[in-house]
Structure 1
């Protein structure tokens, strides 16, 4: 239709508001093709764009839905870090960011087991105590320092999990400081080491093979 103005989405309402603010009279004609109409149409488009960007900012203010400001959120939260690495997709990055910002920490066994589970590991935790008079004869003779030590036992993957715990052996030419043998749990050690109570020492033990379901004694 001739004389009908086509507006980008959202700008029509702004155009009508701008036109309503104009003085009345023949000099203020805002029909399509007029100079004043083109001016108000351009202003309306920009106002609509700013309005839409304001709505986008609501999404960007939430780390679970942020996209354009995701790098800024990660910078504030210190992500990616040396423990968790860098997720590949935006959704994974949002999830990691939300977890980092909402994590309250903890000092219970259940907390560290859950922390390991989120990293994909199954663990058990053993607490230690110094030897005292009256303990069983076969009890470990730990010194006083063991009151502040605990052991994380990393269990092998079972049938409900994805594969087995990988074993990596150091080779000639590897950089100095590389463990002679590793079990793919460096991220786990970093996560738990960072979250442990500062006055404690955490040890890691790895069970490479699962316990058999049945034992057969062929010596009898």
Structure 2
């Protein structure tokens, strides 16, 4: 069911209907009095539209007016946000933090990166073992048990999108600083994380 929406003309008509009756209070839309009253209508229209969109605005993935409150609740912005994050980048980070249930699996890290707007793959390493490793595999110490790598594009580009970006956002931004920071924060403390870009 579509949401009812009121126009400036609807509010002008309603405001004129609230005025007293009489020759001093003309209701004709061409009168100076009615034109002066119509100046208030856009404010009421904006408030009405905002109230109708309140439910959508309360959810992290679609929020506009409550983004700063979501950030404050989730401890954002932090160093992972970067120096000048875009609006959609900030919202992606809120959604990723809010929906993050924790984990140590490849699926968890892939999903966490996807929530931030990055497509990655994960490589797990292991040291050479006689009878289990293949010929030509490099020798490695025990540290390889705890080493893993994230494979990603060299520069993930985020483009300005109508409805998702706001005034002041760049037309394009790129970089993987948010990905590196978020995954470094989320990785198990005993592991070593590498980032490989192609």
**TM-score, scaled relative to structure 1:** 0.47
Listed as ranges, the matches of 1:27-176 within 5 Å are 27-31=24-28, 32-35=30-33, 37-55=34-52, 57-82=54-79, 84-86=80-82, 88-106=85-103, 109-110=105-106, 113-114=109-110, 118=114, 120=120, 122-124=122-124, 151-155=145-149, 157=151, 161-162=152-153
Partner of 1:136: none
**Among 182, 190, 214, which residue is 2:185 paired with?**
190
What SS does the aligned partner of 2:191 have?
strand
Q: Does 1:204 align with 2:198?
A: no
* 8 Å contact kept, 2:9–2:41: yes
For 1:40 and 1:24, how far apart are their aligned partners in 2? 15
Deviation at 1:101, TM superposition (A): 0.8
Residues 38, 205 of structure 1: alpha-carbon distance in 2 compared, 3 angstrom cutoff:
closer
Q: Cα RMSD between the aligned structures? A: 4.1
**TM-score, scaled relative to structure 2:** 0.52
For 2:150 and 2:36, how far apart are their aligned partners in 1? 70
Deviation at 1:56, TM superposition (A): 5.1
For 1:189 and 1:73, how far apart are their aligned partners in 2? 22
Deviation at 1:189, TM superposition (A): 3.6
For 1:187 and 1:61, how far apart are their aligned partners in 2? 24
Residues 188, 63 of structure 1: alpha-carbon distance in 2 compared, 3 angstrom cutoff:
closer
How many residues in Structure 1 have an aligned counterpart in Structure 2? Answer: 145
Higher helix share: 2
Runs of 4+ in 1 over 6 A off after TM superposition: 205-208
Q: If you compute each CA radius of gyration, which structure gives the higher value, 1 or 2?
A: 1
Deviation at 1:11, TM superposition (A): 1.6
What SS does the aligned partner of 1:67 have?
coil
Deviation string for 1:17-42 (max 9, x for gaps)?
2333444443432233343x245323
For 1:55 and 1:99, how far apart are their aligned partners in 2? 26
Residues 153, 17 of structure 1: alpha-carbon distance in 2 compared, 3 angstrom cutoff:
same
| Structure 2 unmatched runs, 5+ | 1-5, 127-144, 155-179
